[in-house]
Every structure is written in structure tokens, then in C-alpha cells.
């Protein structure tokens, strides 16, 4: 019985240490999604400021993430808006 109590206590300690990591991971995921959702406006601003190399680099990263998230609602809208921004077109904000 003592072993099972020790095992449960050790497992509880292990879970408590893992909880902050899950929270950190979830927060990082939220920040990444927000970064992608903000991409059309950010890319448009970079293009307008004639920072096409920086815009290209960000677009490549955004595109890679959108490819990974294929099938998730809103992904194609964000992609279309980013493509419009990269082409120097008007970007609607109806994501």
C-alpha cells in the first residue's frame, strides 16, 4: 500500500510540473494563431513600406503554417487576404 501511495504522490508531482508546460504551450499556440490572423494587414504594411524582402519572408512562414492547417475554418480566407496583400491589392478585414 505504501508503494502505491508513493507512486501516486510521484505521479501527482509529475503532473503538477507538466501543467505549466501545457499552459505555456497553449499560450504560444494562441500567439501563433493571432500572428497568422494579423498577417494580411502586416504584409500589406510591409509592401507599402517597400520592405518586400521582409514581407516575402513572413509570407513564406505564414504560408507554411496555413498549409499545415489546411481544412481548418478560415484558413483559406487568411490565405486569400495574404495573397492580395502580397500583390499590393486591398485587404478586407472580414476574417
Domain residue spans of the chain: 1-28, 38-95
First to last CA, the chain: 57
What is the pLDDT averaged over residues 18-43?
88
70-93 tens-digit pLDDT: 999 999 999 999 999 999 866 666
Which pLDDT band holds residue 17 (cuts at 50, 70, 90)?
low
Whole-model pTM?
0.71
Compute the half-sphere exposure of residue 19: CA atoms within 13 Å on the CB side of its CA. 7
- The set of residues, in sequence order, having a beta carbon less than 8 Å from that of 40 and lying 6+ positions away, is 78, 81, 82, 84, 85, 91, 93, 95
Position 58 scores a pLDDT of: 97
* Residue 24 pLDDT: 86
Whole-angstrom distance, CA of residue 85 vs CA of residue 51: 13
CB 91 within 8 A of CB 84: yes
User: pLDDT tens-digit profile of 36-77?
Assistant: 999 999 999 999 999 999 999 999 999 999 999 999 999 999
Residue pair 62/82 in contact by the 8 Å Cβ criterion? yes
Taking alpha carbons only, the member of 78, 94, 88 closest to residue 36 is 78
Amino acid at each position: 500500500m505504501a508503494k502505491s501511495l508513493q507512486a501516486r504522490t510521484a505521479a501527482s508531482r509529475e503532473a503538477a510540473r507538466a501543467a505549466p508546460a501545457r499552459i505555456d504551450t497553449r499560450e504560444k499556440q494562441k500567439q501563433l494563431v493571432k500572428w497568422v490572423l494579423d498577417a494580411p494587414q502586416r504584409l500589406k504594411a510591409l509592401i507599402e513600406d517597400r520592405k518586400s524582402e521582409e514581407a516575402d519572408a513572413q509570407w513564406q512562414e505564414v504560408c507554411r503554417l496555413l498549409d499545415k492547417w489546411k481544412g481548418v475554418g478560415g484558413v483559406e480566407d487568411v490565405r486569400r487576404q495574404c495573397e492580395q496583400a502580397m500583390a499590393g491589392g486591398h485587404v478586407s478585414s472580414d476574417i
